[in-house]
Amino acid sequence: MDTNIIGRPLNRKDGHLKVTGAALYATDHQREGQAYACAAHSEIASGELLAVDATATLALPGVLTVLHALDAPKLFRCPESLNVGERRPPFEDNRIYYAGQILALVVAESFEVARHGAQLLELKYKEDEQVSLDFERDLREGKIEQTDASSRGQAAEAFDRGHARIDATYETPVGIHCAMELHGAVAWWEEERLVVEDSTQWVVGQSKALANTFGLPESDVEVRSRFVGGGFGGKLFLWSPSILAAEASRVVGRPVQFSLDRRGQFTSAGHRPRTRQRLRLAADEDGHLVSLRHEAVNQTSQVDQYEESCPDVSASLYQCPNVSISQGVVRSHVGTPTPMRGPGETPGLWALESALDELAVELKIDPLELRLRNVAQRDEAKDLPWSINLHERCLREAAARFGWSQRNPEVGSMREGSEVIGWGIASTSWAAMRSSATVTVDLLQSGKARISCATQDIGTGTYTVFAQMVKELTGLPFDSIEVRIGNSRLPTGPISGGSMVTATVVPAIAEATEKAIDALLDLAVAEDGPFAGSDKKSLRMVGGKLCSRSGGASRSIGEVLESKRLSFVSGKGEASPGEEQERYSFRSFGAHCAEVRWDAGLGRLRVSRVTSVIDSGRIINLDTASNQVYGAIVMGVGMALLEESVYDKRTGRPVTDNLADYLVPVMTDCPEIDLSLLNVPDPHIGKLGARGIGEVGLTGVAPAIGNAVYHATGKRIRTLPIRMEDLMG
Ligand code: MOS
């Protein structure tokens, strides 16, 4: 497809609204008569709530009501078929499963009174003696529930015969999404109908889940989310804030705003779980993998079995005849984990790509070369050909751009002033998924176009790429294209998760736009105008107008509709994964090269440079796509060097429960980034060949940095985050 607009770096359609503060996020919404809620969280990690003394709270002027686990209307669970944050709704019973669990909610005239009221509540507990908070101890004691395992060939035997072998264990800590916008909502009831201004990555799923929770028909719930201040997986599924805003509103009969505070965000709205992963790799003399075993365990909560599927990527990324992978969980007194950007593969590749680097050292083969020798020619796990696989090209181009050939393989050999320089490489990868979408595109008498789909823009550029698609096909100016998303009542669209909105919806927009144009052409050839009786095929839409392919007269959308007294014509597009899914395996690939600088005198480690080459199919908007990868690389720096939620083993409370103690990268931590997106359309994934982008930018960053740290210092750090104290001495 020849394009004018697709692939160009167009400015964000919602950029002006955002920079002027006009974009309203969930709790920015103010309703007439709105009340405010504030939560009281459990201070203990395991036990029972025995009593709630709300005397002082209820005596505060402005307090409307107190809801708590011993005195709250029953809410329903969602069916297993529907993903939610926590299966157990708030206040289901008086059991306490983790510190930070919401036990009571104070509703008041103002936020300040609600917060003061929550502080005055006296909660009486019975604390259990048995508390599981010690992951290492649980692992030592073998409290692992196996959840998944698969294999091909004879991994154990092949390992024993290997020429070079690695057997190492890697760990990743609890990670917190740390979206700038907290989980929060404003909810109200219109008769029996529930309306929620929410912050969610999935308006459709959120409305289904709320319907189940409150026993309502789905048509009676409307979830709106026009702008989302960051999700990263933390807002994929329903969490308690939306439920509690709706429940409080039902009780007080007024709109209610409720938001977690930053501290609550660290305990009660999901996290990337802690993992421990054992990697055993063996290769022959030439560096071909002959055996790969990846066994992972992650921590989950008492109430939900969340699996962080770290080893899955290891079964596909490289070719290897003998593979076995397994997954297990350990129950603990923490909140329920949830997907966080690149779930599974991000911690999984920390282990695999670090282990490969160790294998390269063992084999005395360049780590780039080792990867090139093992690139998978087909997806051996699924036994399918790739739709396209540019992994090798990504590795070669990243290395070339970075200057890899200048690398002296000797540890600690590259120096500049007081700094030792280390260079590391890692592959990056993410499964390329599609889901289903229905889209309508209307061409209006005003000369504008309108796109409708119940998906949402979580900050990634969805408004922009959708409008770009219609602009491409109609030639209408960008400003004349209205994008209506972020409402569950629109035609059903996908979750903003798994990096799949663009790949899912763009083909449906194309179809809907073409049908709308076709409907307009039907009118144009039937009306008493310049195209009366023409063959539709001789006409096309250019610059927002119908005109003859041979030139001459043109007719605007408004003129055609005006002549028929119509307000608009519509086209509907539907897209869902088809039989191509049975014939090909879809995956995006890339490579990251990282440069670190270690100043032993100062105890300072910096990531100074990252070069990334990513293949994620056709790029729709160069700026918004690049923006995703820049953000992912910065997130990878955080994962490698800074981020960890530390729990106090005695109380189960995170001690790093704020943005001063839970370290995320700031501008001075950001490396110089050199990014290249290959922009090669995937021949099989759908009309434009666009695969997702975002998660693929993150998955291999931390191991590229870890491998660079080894090259600089000779220290192989297998537990994230890498700290300066790990490198000293
Ligand atoms: Mo992503 S973890 O699928 O929001």
Question: Mind listing the pLDDT tens digit for each residue in 382-412?
Answer: 999 999 999 999 999 999 999 999 999 999 9
Question: What average pLDDT does the segment 36-48 reach?
Answer: 97
Question: What average pLDDT does the segment 55-81 reach?
Answer: 96
For the chain, domains (ranges, CATH) are 15-22+435-576 (3.30.365.10), 31-129+180-230+235-265 (3.90.1170.50), 343-426+587-727 (3.30.365.10)
Given a cut of 70, whether residue 202 has pLDDT beyond it is: yes
Average pLDDT, the chain: 96
In 239-325, alpha helices (H): 240-252, 262-265
3-state helix, strand, coil in the chain (%, to 5): 30, 30, 45
Helix (H, G, I), strand (E, B) or coil at 187: strand
Given a cut of 80, whether residue 2 has pLDDT beyond it is: no
**pLDDT per residue as tens digits for the range 577-616:** 989 999 999 999 999 999 999 999 999 999 999 999 999 9
Q: Which residues contact 397 (CB under 8 A, 6 or more apart)?
A: 591, 613, 676, 678
- Ligand 1 atom, smallest distance to 342 CA: 2
Q: Are strands 481-484 and 449-452 parallel, antiparallel or unpaired?
A: parallel
Query: From ligand 1's centre to the CA of 225, what distance in Å?
Result: 17
What's the token pair of residue 415? 């120096």
Q: What is the pLDDT of residue 174?
A: 97
Q: Which residues contact 239 (CB under 8 A, 6 or more apart)?
A: 85, 86, 183, 268, 269, 270
> How many Cα neighbours within 13 Å face the side chain of 336?
21
Q: What is the pLDDT of residue 1?
A: 56
Enter the DSSP assignment of 76.
Answer: P
* pLDDT confidence tier of residue 630, bands split at 50, 70 and 90: very high
Q: What is the pLDDT of residue 411?
A: 98
CA distance 68 to 51: 10
Question: What average pLDDT does the segment 649-675 reach?
Answer: 95
Query: From ligand 1's centre to the CA of 587, what distance in Å?
Result: 16
- Ligand 1 atom, smallest distance to 694 CA: 1
Q: What are the φ and ψ backbone dihedral angles of 61, each rounded to 5 degrees? A: -60, 130
**Bridge partner residues of 258 (DSSP):** 37, 185
* pLDDT confidence tier of residue 527, bands split at 50, 70 and 90: confident
Q: What is the pLDDT of residue 73?
A: 87
Given a cut of 80, whether residue 729 has pLDDT beyond it is: no
CA distance 108 to 181: 22
- Is the CB of residue 349 less than 8 Å from the CB of residue 357? no
Q: Are strands 672-677 and 604-615 parallel, antiparallel or unpaired?
A: parallel
Identify the weakest region by mean pLDDT among 104-113, 125-134, 426-435: 125-134
Residue 21, Cβ neighbours under 10 Å: how many?
8
From 582, 595, 695, 725, active-site residue = 695
Residue 356, Cβ neighbours under 10 Å: how many?
29
Identify the weakest region by mean pLDDT among 85-89, 370-374, 487-491, 685-689: 685-689
- Ligand 1 atom, smallest distance to 695 CA: 1
Q: What is the pLDDT of residue 132?
A: 86
Site to substitute for ligand 1 among 341, 502, 588, most atoms within 8 A of C-beta: 341
Q: What is the pLDDT of residue 182?
A: 97
Q: What is the pLDDT of residue 129?
A: 87
695 catalytic per annotation: yes
Query: From ligand 1's centre to the CA of 694, what distance in Å?
Result: 9
Query: From ligand 1's centre to the CA of 258, what distance in Å?
Result: 24
Taking Cα atoms as reference points, which of 707, 715, 712, 706 lies closest to residue 641? 706
Given a cut of 60, whether residue 317 has pLDDT beyond it is: yes
The dihedral through the CA atoms of 317, 642, 460, 245 has a sign that is: positive
Q: What is the pLDDT of residue 5?
A: 87
Query: From ligand 1's centre to the CA of 500, what distance in Å?
Result: 9
Q: Whose CA is nearest to atom 4 of ligand 1?
A: 233
Question: What average pLDDT does the segment 123-135 reach?
Answer: 91
**pLDDT per residue as tens digits for the range 83-105:** 999 999 999 999 999 999 999 99
**Bridge partner residues of 425 (DSSP):** 593
Question: What average pLDDT does the segment 147-176 reach?
Answer: 97
Site to substitute for ligand 1 among 225, 236, 310, most atoms within 8 A of C-beta: 236
- Ligand 1 atom, smallest distance to 235 CA: 4
Given a cut of 60, whether residue 376 has pLDDT beyond it is: yes
| Distances 251 to 106, 189, 594 between C-alpha atoms, Å | 12, 10, 55
Pocket of ligand 1 (CB under 6 A): 201, 231-233, 236, 339-341, 343, 497-498
Q: Tell me: cis bond preceding 577? Omega within 30 of 0 counts.
A: no
Give the burial string for 388-420 (b: 16+ CB within 10 Å, else e): bbbbebbbbbbbebbebeebeeeeeebeeeebb
